Amino acid sequence: MNATGVALALFIGVLLPLQALINASLGRQTFGPVFASLASFAVGTLVLLAWWLLTRPVFVPAAFAKVPWWAWTGGVIGAVLVASTTVLVPRLGAASLICLVVAGQLAGSMVLDHFGVLHARQPVDAVRVVGLLLVVAGALLVVKPWQPAGG
């Protein structure tokens, strides 16, 4: 496993709750969580456009004809994720939100890997199931759903 890739993934993990908190703050100070999510995507789009242009891409419009319809749905998923985290972080807190998101991501990833959805199949084994159960247990310990809110 590439150490640089692992470090980058961990760094991104640190930034995700910060993004949710920043967006929630922007929503409180402006026109609500959906506007804050829109602003986040607009700024992100400008950053990605600049990055893409700086890498001197070759733009071939005919390539669009080869792309299946579902390949464009990642943006919908991203919008739902950003808007949902913007709405939920003030209600759940950053740690609870991220723990629940990570547990959901891991469970979903294991199903997608097992069935080889859009990539090579990687069957679920007992060790991965134990890892998932440990993540779910950790999320429960952070979220503490058995305690009343604010307790």
Q: How far from the centroid of its chain's Cα atoms is residue 102's Cα?
A: 8
- The C-alpha atoms of residue 62 and residue 146 are separated, in whole angstroms, by 55
pLDDT at 5 over 70: yes
Mean pLDDT (whole number) for 63-91? 94
Mean pLDDT of 2-22: 94
Closest CA to 23 of 48, 41, 11: 41
Which amino acid, one-letter code, is at 113? D
Band of residue 151 on the pLDDT scale cut at 50, 70, 90: low
Give the pLDDT of residue 25.
97
Mean pLDDT of 20-44: 97
pLDDT at 57: 82
Question: How high is the pLDDT of residue 150?
Answer: 67
Share of the chain above pLDDT 90, in %: 91
Over residues 81-129, the pLDDT tens digits come to 999 999 999 999 999 999 999 999 999 999 999 999 999 999 999 999 9
Tell me the pTM: 0.86
| Average confidence (pLDDT) over 13-27 | 95
- pLDDT, position 120: 95
Count of CB atoms situated within 10 Å of the CB of 85: 24
